[in-house]
Amino acid sequence: MSTTTATGLDQKTRDIIKSTVPVLQEHGTAITTRFYQTMFKKHPELKNIFNQTNQRKGDQPKALANTVLAAAMHIDQLESILPVVKQIAEKHRSLNIKPEHYPIVGENLLFAIKDVLGDAATDEIIDAWAKAYGEIANVFITVEKEMYKEVQDSPGGWVDYRDFKVVKKEKESDVITSFYLKPVDEKVFPSYRPGQYITIKAEIDSQEYNHLRQYSLSQAPGEEYYRISVKREDAIGAGPAGVVSTFLHEQVEEGSILPISAPGGDFVLDQEDNRPLILISGGVGLTPMMSMLETTIKVQPNREVIYIQAARSGKFHAMKDRVTEIVEGNKQVKSYTVYDTPAEGETCDKEGYVDYEWLTSILPTNDAAFYFCGPKGFMRAQYKNLREFGVADTDIHFEIFGPADDIKS
């Protein structure tokens, strides 16, 4: 794609950018942390867009640092990071990031580079990064423009937020509750691909700013509603409870109105693949897996499916009855449960964790399509298991809740 090459940069500028890679490797997170501090001070209204929980945890600065580093390393051929660009652009579209936001980001990023590096950030380096940022921003703006148009042009599609009513609220486990959503205007709304998510704009009276959170759609497309299934994030140790999940569980009831963005995301089921489908989820990571499972039994009824759900115990295991129903009605589907600490009298297929020995003992082959989702530690373990099992990287698909993290290390 011509839009993904740094065509507007001269060779000297590219060389300067590449020369800063070691500095970014060492100071990247410090730079991006300073960037967010400065930007929010100058533009507090942007706190309505950015996840402040991820800011406090340090996840967002790390994610941005990795993106900046990747862009610097591939400044000669930005098309090589197009998959990363598209993944981030999907989130930007869902969060309604617009072209006018990019100059604000650029100004504050350059300030942060200079502020953190001091005299080492010469005028030549700052000028080079100003040019490079312009090129990188144009890549994102171009990709996102196409995404906005695609959403707008889809049947019932919309840009920005649209009010949906909670028509049903259903408890799935001790910590997970499902919310069924229909548009207030009662007009048509777009379908989605299994694995995609929507963004909820939580307007909470006790909060100064809005909070945006992305939740996977937890059912096969084609229903007269969207369904999300949300885990209540309780306070752990010194960590605070989840602002939005607590709001949804405790304040949102049937009849409540929630503004949402149109479905998005690039973690989607390949419905052209007929090989065995392996779905592995930890905790609330089951939400996109359930959408993929229910879709598969509808559109690929003869496809072999193995569904693995890991949970702390039975009372934390959501949608168990639905999965049992699917298995009983579809001979090609097998399901397994793994409980970390099962309660007395609870049965499961394995106690503890989804480890290599057990996982490979139930898998029919490594020539299959593997999808997994869950907490980051769980994700790292499953990626390692699959690679050790000899699964091709192109057959490994995953979604991480929150900012992208490198689970391959």
Q: Which of 102, 133, 192, 339 is catalytic?
A: 102
339 assigned to a ligand binding site:
no
167 assigned to a ligand binding site:
no
Q: How many CA atoms lie within 13 A of 241 on its CB side?
A: 12
194 assigned to a ligand binding site:
no
- The helix/strand count (H/E) of the chain reads as 12, 12
Q: What is the dihedral of CA 297, 299, 304, 305, to 10 degrees?
A: -50
Q: What is the C-alpha to C-alpha distance for residues 195 and 286, in angstroms, rounded to an integer?
A: 10
Nearest to 16 by CA among 123, 163, 140, 160: 123
336 assigned to a ligand binding site:
no
Q: Kindly list the distances between the CA atom of residue 65 and the CA atoms of 28, 61, 278, in Å, as whole numbers in the listed order.
A: 5, 6, 32
The CA radius of gyration of the chain, in Å to the nearest whole number, is: 22
287 assigned to a ligand binding site:
yes
Read off the DSSP letter of residue 374: S
268 assigned to a ligand binding site:
no
286 assigned to a ligand binding site:
yes
- Using DSSP, state whether 248 is helix, strand or coil: helix
Chain-centre distance for alpha carbon 76: 28
Read off the DSSP letter of residue 261: P
- Using DSSP, state whether 366 is helix, strand or coil: coil
Q: What is the C-alpha to C-alpha distance for residues 374 and 199, in angstroms, rounded to an integer?
A: 18
Strand 305-311, strand 277-282: pairing: parallel
288 assigned to a ligand binding site:
yes
Q: Which of 90, 133, 135, 144 is catalytic?
A: 144
20 assigned to a ligand binding site:
no
Is 346 one of the annotated active-site residues of the chain?
Answer: no
Is 253 one of the annotated active-site residues of the chain?
Answer: no
353 assigned to a ligand binding site:
no
Q: Which residue numbers belong to the known binding site for heme b?
A: 92
Q: Which residue numbers belong to the known binding site for NADP(+)?
A: 283-288
Q: Which residue numbers belong to the known binding site?
A: 92, 197, 213-216, 283-288
Residues with catalytic annotation?
102, 144
Q: Which residue numbers belong to the known binding site for FAD?
A: 197, 213-216
